[in-house]
Structure 1
Amino acid sequence: MGASVVAQHASRIHAAIESDAAAKSALVASWRRSSALHKLDPAERRAPLRVTDHELNHARQRVERLLRASQASLDRLYLAVGGIGCCVLLADRDGVPIERRGAAADDETFEHWGLWTGTVWSEESEGTNGIGTCLVEGRALTIHRDQHFYSKNTLLSCTTAPIYDHEGNLAAALDVSSCRADLTESFIHLIAMALGDAVRRIEAENFRLAYPDARIVMAPTPDQAPGAFLAVDRDDLVVGATRSARIALGLTPEVLARPLPAADLLGGDTSFSEDLRQAERMVLERALIRSNGNVTAAARALGMSRATLHRKLGRFGLRGAN
């Protein structure tokens, strides 16, 4: 990239920052953060920072369950976008890619650009960019070519979406990046759709892995929000909720910290309540069958007192042998 092009890009960034555009444009607000908060210079041409192999391994260990949950979706996403010269990056909360998919023929190019595991793509380090800005703002976005803060990154196009963990906390970012100059707006739109689908799949699988002994049920939401799931234990208590479910149902961490009957929470959904009732009856019947009708043994297997089990059996018109 020539010096004049670098200077022009830097001048454009500074002019936008000095204007009142930051109040109207999220992009310019990010440029301002990059300059004023992080003290970065858009004309700087240093190589991207990289963490050590030890630090990368530690970062992977911190989100081990999320990594397991993401593998199939990363493969699926790369099949959708790899053919148009893109790579897929899964970055942790600090903006460091910990998993990657890409064509071997493009590896040298992408590694040169820093689109590689272990590279630091936080906004603090690289200024406005897909991964870093997505993590700061907590929303899906595209940073296309000269929207990047650093002049050295203006040949990249990055579409990124946040990933939230089983407790609704921002945990990672999923990114599709390309160095192609002919990446059109239509292609970017298709990439964003595939990316959103992958994020929903990863969040759902991570939620299931977080609550392996619970039933995962869809939470009815006014706008049919995708990914609104609840984890319900054997006593029909809500033990977990995805971010979408928390937002839709007003579930704060304080609310979820107390025993929360699913039927009370979703009392307006009669079909859901009936599903819970039938599921509970089936659990009780199976416990009685496995214990040959012995109520004491069935209660022990279910982790409840004999008196509690008798009350539940009476509610469903079931009887044990003792």
Structure 2
Amino acid sequence: MLKHGLDPSDARRPERLTLDELARRRQAMEHFLRVASPQLDQLFNLVGLSGCNVLLTDADGVVLDQRVNGADAEQFRDWGLWQGADWSEAAQGTNGIGTCLAEGRPITIHRDEHFRTRNTAMSCMDAPIWGPDGRLLAALDVSSARADQTERYNRLIGAQVAQTARAIEAMFFRASFPGARIVAPGDSVDAAVLLAVDKDDLAIGATRAARRALGLEREGAIRPRPAADLLGRDDDLRGFDKAERAAVARALARAEGNVSAAARALGVGRATLYRRMARLGLGERSG
């Protein structure tokens, strides 16, 4: 690539960090790696027996974690698909990890679509993972060593990689706001559209997909806003009415919609609770 001054015929392995440098990078992302680890295990259980290597990188394209079968390890190590290796586009040209990070989207680079000649024996399926601050955080990669890997099979693996990346992103978002409720807009079909809402019903965090869908700050901390404003809910109630509605709604939920049981829990009569429900706009789900 002219932009990076790379030679496609260069047969050298990707540069690797020293053990100390790798340890520092892993430590900086320790919380994320801990959240992601079970998902890497699940993904490897699905694809590992078919000669695939599962890799997780940071935003610079450096491999921080991986799952690989012992029988395939030598091949992937020879290719440089190993912890500590730099697979950025600047270092390797077009490749699954680097191009995914450069373009910020799921991508498959199949065999001779790789820039370097030495990489054209592999197929790489990748998806980006976005952090709770809306910034690119990592790339999830499945690379195949099979000579008979087909593009159709790549599509199946690519779909699973994208799904796993979204799951990791959502799980890390939840873990990043431990004291908040995590909610999604009611009309959203994207599982990655999530808001973190505090005890005062203020939205204090949003995933990248939620930021885009709701017109919030693209990156960094978001300005706290009433969740009702973002979720399109009727917020006409104010002050004590709003607090009372929340208390009644909680009592009904705990009583699984049974008005009589909710009334007893609140210390009021059934008729009184019905009147309050009508005033507060709460419907009866069961008797």
Percent identity among equivalent residues? 50
Distance 2:167 2:63 in 1: 19
**For the structure 1 residues 269 and 200, does the alpha-carbon distance in structure 2 shift closer, same or farther, using more than 3 Å as the test?**
farther
- SS of aligned partner of 2:100: helix
Compare the two structures and name the one with the higher helix fraction: 1
Q: Does the 8 Å contact 2:58/2:137 carry over to 1?
A: yes
Distance 1:86 1:189 in 2: 14
- CA shift, 1:106, in A, is 1.3
Distance 1:192 1:212 in 2: 31
Residue 16 of structure 2 aligns with an amino acid whose one-letter code is R
Distance 1:188 1:243 in 2: 26
Residue 187 of structure 1 aligns with an amino acid whose one-letter code is Y
Q: Does the 8 Å contact 1:238/1:256 carry over to 2?
A: no
1:23-38 maps to which residues of 2 (within 5 A)?
A: 35-38=1-4
**Which position in structure 2 is the counterpart of 1:181?**
147
Residue 8 of structure 2 aligns with an amino acid whose one-letter code is P
**Which position in structure 2 is the counterpart of 1:231?**
196
**For the structure 1 residues 282 and 108, does the alpha-carbon distance in structure 2 shift closer, same or farther, using more than 3 Å as the test?**
farther
- CA shift, 1:228, in A, is 0.5
RMSD: 2.5
**Which position in structure 2 is the counterpart of 1:22?**
none
Q: Does the 8 Å contact 2:133/2:219 carry over to 1?
A: no
Deviations, residues 149-177 of structure 1 (Å, cap 9, x unaligned): 11111111111110001111101000000
Distance 1:255 1:101 in 2: 31
TM-score by length of 1: 0.72
Q: 1:220 aligns with which of 145, 165, 186?
A: 186
Gaps in structure 1 of 5+ consecutive residues: 1-34, 271-275, 286-314, 317-322
Distance 2:9 2:106 in 1: 26
1:116-265 maps to which residues of 2 (within 5 A)?
A: 116-221=82-187, 224-252=189-217, 257-265=222-230
Q: Does the 8 Å contact 1:231/1:239 carry over to 2?
A: yes
**Which position in structure 2 is the counterpart of 1:273?**
none
**Which position in structure 1 is the counterpart of 2:65?**
99
Deviations, residues 56-105 of structure 1 (Å, cap 9, x unaligned): 11111222221111011101111111121101000111111100001112
Misfit runs of 4+, over 6 Å: 276-279, 282-285
Alignment of 1:59 with 2:25, yes or no, is yes
Deviations, residues 246-300 of structure 1 (Å, cap 9, x unaligned): 1111111599643301112223479xxxxx9799538999xxxxxxxxxxxxxxx
Distance 1:106 1:255 in 2: 40
- SS of aligned partner of 1:263: helix
Residue 247 of structure 1 aligns with an amino acid whose one-letter code is R
Gaps in structure 2 of 5+ consecutive residues: 236-241, 252-278, 281-287
TM-score by length of 2: 0.80
Q: Does the 8 Å contact 1:234/1:280 carry over to 2?
A: no
